[in-house]
Chains A and B, each alone.
Chain A
Amino acid sequence: MPADPYFKKTSTRKMLGECPKMRKRISLYSLTFSLPLFIWQVVFFVFPLAFLVALSFWTVKNFRMQPDFDTINWVTMYGRSIFWQSYGLTFAMAAAASVITSILAFPCSFAIAFKLGPKARQLAIFMMVIPFFTSYLVRVYSWQIFLSDNGIINGFLALVGLEKIAMLNTVFATMIGYLTLCFPLVVLLQLFSLMFIDRTLIEAAHNLRCGRLRTVFEVVIPSARVGLVIAALFCFILSFGDFVSPIYLGGGDPTTLSILITDTTKSGQQWPRAAVIALTMIGTLLAVAFAAIRFAYKGREQ
């Protein structure tokens, strides 16, 4: 195909010129459908976000928030080492969670996409949906029974004569929690991109004497890149803001940003400072999301 921008421009114009009424009708039609989404976005995202920005400039006197325009909250929070320490740590933990979850989920979604028959695949997809039936909090609490010092895993280790391993209230346990939260979703997202890979590409690779493993890395993964990256991105987003796992499995140690938010509000009603943390988190997630999507679709047009 010619990559000449002029060609593209003229062809687009030509198309639009051919059916001028169509364009208007489409926009009215699409407006009807996109309006609810637009209103939803304004009411539940833009408005709260604007409020959060305003709130971060308010001041607190004697437990009462007062509308104000003072940068004190930004200066204070950004000047504290604990904030940056928590930030780095939360970012690293969420990044680790998305890498680990993606690696562990890939064989699973690969097997479901390529090795199972249609019926077994449907069952497997259903199995991945089931975890969403129960509350995440309940699932995390039940992990405590497995991971605690007197729990099921250590009980088993004692039975075979091995020493106890401290698991609960560690970063390891937090990671287990992140996996509990993200694994089914990551598998599903990976699966939907793997299922739509053109099989002829794989056959072609085999015909060209490409080994099985090499086919996975050179054909399957590049073809499913968008889905794999989006799955990892979702895992990052969910883990970055999660409060339940770091507090109930990690024992609140180390302090993640979500824990720091609750700490900040716990003394003196410092919601404006909590807003600073929240906005920093939102900004980070937006940056990561844009970077990830850019990477996912890089070179796709050609």
Chain B
Amino acid sequence: MTKSNILQSGLTRRALLATGAATLATPMFSRRAFAAPTELTMLAWYGHAEPDIVAEFEAENNVKFVPKYYTGGDNMLGLISQSPVGTFDVILSDAEYVQALQQAGYVEELTASDYEIDDYYPEFQNFPGNWSDGKLFSLVTRFGFLGVAYNTDALTEAEASTYNVFWDEKLKGKVGHFDWHLPNLGQISQLNGNANPYDIDAAAWQAVKDKTMSLRPQIGGFFDYGGTFSSLNDGQMLAFAGIGDWITGVLEKNGAKVRSAIPEEGGLQWSECFSIGKGSAKAELAKKWIQYITSAKGQAKSAQMAAYPALIPNQKGWDVLNVENPAEAKRQGMTKDAGNVIEMIRAGRIKNRQWPVQQSLEEWNDFWSEYKGS
């Protein structure tokens, strides 16, 4: 076909190019029209926006999570305070930090009726910190216990059933600390017989400090997240204070000989709560996510999170987990059998990890630095 033929047939060069370009661009347009997912930013501990947890929600709602992971509540508060309003759509926070979030105006108020709180165990329906002056600001989504983490080759479950085991002569230099004052000092406070380990007067605080200092010769090191994993995994540390199944559970699944026990003096409880970030432009979608992750289906997923397992407050979530993965439900104590985790809470064996009531957070932290340096 010659040039004149094309022109004669009514197809100009310009038209040809335009058609060609349009044809080539079609997949782009259709991709934009059908697939462009909405980005939802999440500020959370590591693992909460990984595919094992969010893939299903992302596919169902055409959403793509953009996570910003933090390590520790202080780190989280720092990230929020240094970011413009509306940076984070969804915020996961440890329960003791929720109040600080709410007081600083970093989170939106939630409507309780939007969520299936009635499916929660009663202990979690009015969870401390979630509510302020009758208003809901966050919703507890998972929790776990902290006790005595131990190497099962070195210690028996009976030996690990008291915090006193940390002073055992055979563990000299083999006891590790998760390097954060709050869980460690809380445990010593429990050992000292304080009914509320974080609400202690000056005399009791002094006693906690003295008792802690007496543990110093036993300590082999102070470890961060990664160091805690590796030193328990290779048997360098045989017992660990300040942690629980959130670390040993992961190691245990991978074949390491470690476990966590709740000692007779009682254990501590960490709790993670979801909130909607102040000024979020996607608050509706953020609400949808919290509805999903606190529903029975989302809760079962959360309990088995690859990064670190946890207990869940939704009773129907327990049912789903017991069908999906009965072994994990049993391992974590989320069955209807006697002695399950809810019964432990009801028996008063578990206390919430929280900020010190009668001392400042700074005082506890300063003592922790001195203890480490002694």
Binding site for B on A (CB under 8 A): 62-65, 80-82, 85-86, 141, 144-145, 148-151, 166, 168-169, 247-248, 250-255, 259-260, 263-271
A168: chain B residues within 8 A (beta carbon)? 236
Say yes or no: A251 contacts B223, CB within 8 Å.
Answer: yes
A149: chain B residues within 8 A (beta carbon)? 235-236
- State the Cβ distance, B368 to closest chain A Cβ, in Å: 7
Say yes or no: A251 contacts B227, CB within 8 Å.
Answer: yes
Complex Cα gap A86–B77 (Å): 27
The answer to whether the Cβ of B180 comes within 8 Å of any Cβ in the partner chain is yes
The residue that B104 contacts in the complex, of A62, A86, A148, A250, with Cβ under 8 A, is A62
The answer to whether the Cβ of B252 comes within 8 Å of any Cβ in the partner chain is no
Say yes or no: A267 contacts B230, CB within 8 Å.
Answer: no
B227: chain A residues within 8 A (beta carbon)? 247-248, 251-252
B366: chain A residues within 8 A (beta carbon)? 80
21 A–B contacts, CB within 8 A, in A order: A63-B78, A63-B100, A64-B104, A144-B230, A144-B236, A148-B234, A149-B235, A169-B236, A247-B227, A252-B222, A252-B223, A253-B219, A253-B372, A254-B373, A263-B365, A263-B368, A263-B369, A263-B372, A265-B78, A268-B362, A269-B81
- State the Cβ distance, B272 to closest chain A Cβ, in Å: 18
Say yes or no: A148 contacts B236, CB within 8 Å.
Answer: yes
The answer to whether the Cβ of B173 comes within 8 Å of any Cβ in the partner chain is yes
Binding site for A on B (CB under 8 A): 72, 74-75, 77-78, 81, 100, 103-104, 173, 176, 179-181, 219-224, 226-227, 230-231, 234-236, 361-362, 364-366, 368-370, 372-373
B372: chain A residues within 8 A (beta carbon)? 252-255, 259, 263
Residue in A closest to B71 when the chains form the complex, CB atoms: A266
Seed contacts A148-B234, A252-B224; 12 additional CB < 8 Å A-B pairs: A63-B104, A80-B369, A150-B234, A150-B236, A166-B173, A247-B223, A251-B176, A252-B372, A253-B221, A263-B368, A266-B365, A268-B365
Say yes or no: B235 contacts A267, CB within 8 Å.
Answer: no
Residue in B closest to A248 when the chains form the complex, CB atoms: B227
Complex Cα gap A263–B72 (Å): 12
Say yes or no: B220 contacts A169, CB within 8 Å.
Answer: yes
Say yes or no: B364 contacts A267, CB within 8 Å.
Answer: yes
Complex Cα gap A267–B100 (Å): 13
Complex Cα gap A247–B219 (Å): 14
- State the Cβ distance, A300 to closest chain B Cβ, in Å: 42
- State the Cβ distance, B314 to closest chain A Cβ, in Å: 31
A65: chain B residues within 8 A (beta carbon)? 81
Residue in B closest to A144 when the chains form the complex, CB atoms: B230
A270: chain B residues within 8 A (beta carbon)? 362
Complex Cα gap A268–B180 (Å): 12
Complex Cα gap A254–B221 (Å): 9
Instruction: Kindly list the 7 A-B residue pairs having the minimum CB-CB distance in the complex, ordered from nearest.
Output: A251-B221, A267-B365, A252-B222, A169-B221, A82-B373, A63-B77, A255-B373
- State the Cβ distance, B80 to closest chain A Cβ, in Å: 9
A62: chain B residues within 8 A (beta carbon)? 100, 103-104
The residue that A82 contacts in the complex, of B224, B235, B369, with Cβ under 8 A, is B369
B103: chain A residues within 8 A (beta carbon)? 62
B369: chain A residues within 8 A (beta carbon)? 80, 82, 255, 260, 263-264
A259: chain B residues within 8 A (beta carbon)? 372
The residue that A141 contacts in the complex, of B100, B230, B361, with Cβ under 8 A, is B230
Say yes or no: B74 contacts A265, CB within 8 Å.
Answer: yes
Most chain A CB neighbours (cut-off 10 Å) among B176, B221, B373: B373
Say yes or no: A251 contacts B220, CB within 8 Å.
Answer: yes
Complex Cα gap A80–B362 (Å): 13
Say yes or no: B219 contacts A267, CB within 8 Å.
Answer: no
Most chain B CB neighbours (cut-off 10 Å) among A63, A64, A85, A255: A63
- State the Cβ distance, A244 to closest chain B Cβ, in Å: 11
Say yes or no: A268 contacts B234, CB within 8 Å.
Answer: no
Residue in A closest to B222 when the chains form the complex, CB atoms: A252
Complex Cα gap A247–B228 (Å): 11
Say yes or no: B373 contacts A268, CB within 8 Å.
Answer: no
- State the Cβ distance, A101 to closest chain B Cβ, in Å: 24
Say yes or no: A82 contacts B180, CB within 8 Å.
Answer: no
A63: chain B residues within 8 A (beta carbon)? 74, 77-78, 81, 100, 104
Say yes or no: B223 contacts A268, CB within 8 Å.
Answer: no
Residue in B closest to A253 when the chains form the complex, CB atoms: B221
Residue in A closest to B101 when the chains form the complex, CB atoms: A63
B236: chain A residues within 8 A (beta carbon)? 144, 148-150, 168-169
Residue in A closest to B360 when the chains form the complex, CB atoms: A268
Residue in A closest to B236 when the chains form the complex, CB atoms: A148
B234: chain A residues within 8 A (beta carbon)? 144-145, 148, 150-151
Complex Cα gap A62–B362 (Å): 11
B72: chain A residues within 8 A (beta carbon)? 266
Say yes or no: B368 contacts A150, CB within 8 Å.
Answer: no
